[in-house]
Amino acid sequence: MRDLEGRDVILCVAATAAAITAIEWLTRLATEALALKGGEGQVLPILLEWVLMFGAAAHVPNRLLQGIRQGGYLIWRVFIPAAMVASITGTIAADPGIMETAAGQSDLAAQATRMLLAQTGARFLVLMLGMMLGNVSVRRLGPEDQGLVPTHCLALIGDLVEEEAAAAVEEMCRLARSAYEKGNLARAETLYQQVLALAPNLVEARLGLGYVSIYTHKHGVAEEQFDRVLAMGTHDAEAHAGLGYMHLLRTEIVPAEQRFRASLRADRDCVQGLVGLGHVLLMRAEYAKALPLLERAANLKPHSANAHEGLGGAYLGLERYQDAVAEFDRALELRPEYADVHYRRGLAYLAMGAVEQGVADWRKALALSPTAWFAAEVRERLQRRDQASKSEQT
């Protein structure tokens, strides 16, 4: 959860002010429409039409607010103050005569101030009402009620709501991918769960949650997500690869290889499948066979820390230590808290004779993951080294 930044308040005020301006403009058009159409029977449909449009305009700060709240903010900390400031701005912009009266005639200043406050309060209430109605209008209006609202207005509101919802989902997926690639699994898991609450059939979110669940040891959740994706009949390659990683983490090599090969049959360019099969071959010490797979994966997805880590492992097995260090460096640029990479880079440094760098990497790996699969070996070797150093000193 990050601290409140000034740019957040500025953006929210700007977006809210834009919504207020739209409301001012639409209000004047609504007044003209009422005057032109006339008739008491037309009042309710026309008012409902324009209130719904106010709601659409108010979706601008509302969607921004949702993004801010994902960072841990409460509505009263940003939106309410921003709405009040924007309401005052909208009032002055709509009726500059108020300020002229207050400034030019001191005896009317109190009356002008009361008018300013009254109009500001009215605009603020309209904005809040518009937000609420804009959020529920299209989804809550039944067939018996839709006759009150012009068809073109419903279509306009529906398109706006769907576009904004799709944009919000896309942004949340982007943030989740970024969090996953940087190793922030808790953040990625939360975002993917939020996306699935909005779009349950979004394949990307199910795959993302599946891969996150593998590394948080929630294998039941991961398997459920991958099975759901396979049942949808799309993105089979990524789903097969995900199930392969589950087998790999349980050291079930044969079923893992079968899944990775199924992944590559579905899509020969599936990076997860290439990296997974590459890791299977590395575990079998078949470094020359793993190398082209991992090189292809790193070329297809240069920002994949897993691909660079695997490629570094292939170079390490082939005793190309400088190339291995370069790939491990790249992996750590993408994911600095990657304990496995620190361990393997330490191996490469030690093989090159760079003992201090190797020991530093091993200590970092232990600090990041004290219970990792390599932890016992590394801890023992470091203890032996420390004891040897003390013996030499004495």
Q: What is the DSSP string of 208-263?
A: HHHHHHHHTT-HHHHHHHHHHHHHHTS-HHHHHHHHHHHHHHTT-HHHHHHHHHHH
Residue 151 CA from chain centroid, whole number:
35
Contacts of 190-195 with C-beta under 8 Å, sequence gap 24+, read 191/70, 194/70, 195/169
Check if the beta carbon of residue 329 is closer than 8 Å to that of residue 342. Answer: no
Q: How big is the chain by its Cα radius of gyration, in Å?
A: 30
Mean pLDDT, rounded, for 72-96: 57
116 assigned to some structural domain? yes
Nearest of 178, 175, 181, 136 to residue 158 by alpha carbon: 136
Burial class (CB in 10 A: 0-12, 13-18, 19+), 84: middle
Q: What is the pTM of this model?
A: 0.57
Nearest of 323, 366, 318 to residue 342 by alpha carbon: 366
Nearest of 300, 265, 262, 261 to residue 281 by alpha carbon: 261
pLDDT band at 41 (very low <50, low <70, confident <90, very high): very low
271 assigned to some structural domain? no
> Averaging pLDDT over each range in 20-34, 131-145, 279-293, which range is the top one?
279-293
Check if the beta carbon of residue 287 is closer than 8 Å to that of residue 281. Answer: yes
Beta carbons within 10 angstroms of residue 14's beta carbon: 15
Percentage of the chain modeled with pLDDT above 70 = 58
Nearest of 335, 29, 72 to residue 181 by alpha carbon: 335
Mean model confidence pLDDT for the chain:
75
pLDDT band at 90 (very low <50, low <70, confident <90, very high): low
Check if the beta carbon of residue 369 is closer than 8 Å to that of residue 339. Answer: yes
- For residues 95 and 138, which has the higher predicted lDDT (pLDDT)? 95
- For residues 209 and 215, what is the distance between their CA atoms, to the nearest angstrom? 10
**Of 52-61, 286-295, 312-321, which range is least confident?**
52-61
Check if the beta carbon of residue 142 is closer than 8 Å to that of residue 164. Answer: no
Domain count for the chain, please give it.
1
- For residues 162 and 41, which has the higher predicted lDDT (pLDDT)? 162
150 assigned to some structural domain? no
- For residues 59 and 161, what is the distance between their CA atoms, to the nearest angstrom? 8
Q: What pLDDT shows up at residue 310? A: 96
Task: Name the DSSP letter for residue 106.
Answer: G
51 assigned to some structural domain? yes
Q: pLDDT at residue 341 above 70?
A: yes
- For residues 240 and 15, what is the distance between their CA atoms, to the nearest angstrom? 44
42 assigned to some structural domain? yes
Mean pLDDT, rounded, for 367-388: 89
Q: What pLDDT shows up at residue 285? A: 95
Number of residues in the chain? 394
Dihedral sign from CA coordinates of 206, 211, 217, 220: positive
54 assigned to some structural domain? yes
Q: pLDDT at residue 123 above 90?
A: no
- For residues 109 and 100, what is the distance between their CA atoms, to the nearest angstrom? 9
71 assigned to some structural domain? yes
Residue numbers of the domain that contains 47: 6-138
Angle between helical axes of 151-181 and 109-140 (0-180°, round to 10): 80
Beta carbons within 10 angstroms of residue 23's beta carbon: 25
- For 52, the token pair is 């719904």
Beta carbons within 10 angstroms of residue 16's beta carbon: 28
Check if the beta carbon of residue 58 is closer than 8 Å to that of residue 12. Answer: no
Give Cβ neighbours of residue 286 (< 8 Å, ≥ 6 apart): none
Beta carbons within 10 angstroms of residue 128's beta carbon: 14
46 assigned to some structural domain? yes
- The residue behind tokens 């940087």 is 182
**Which alpha helices (H) appear in the chain, and where do they start and end?**
6-37, 43-70, 75-94, 97-104, 109-140, 151-181, 185-198, 203-215, 219-232, 236-249, 253-266, 271-283, 287-300, 305-317, 321-334, 339-352, 355-368, 375-393
* 285 Ramachandran zone, left/alpha/beta (phi>0; psi -120 to 50): left
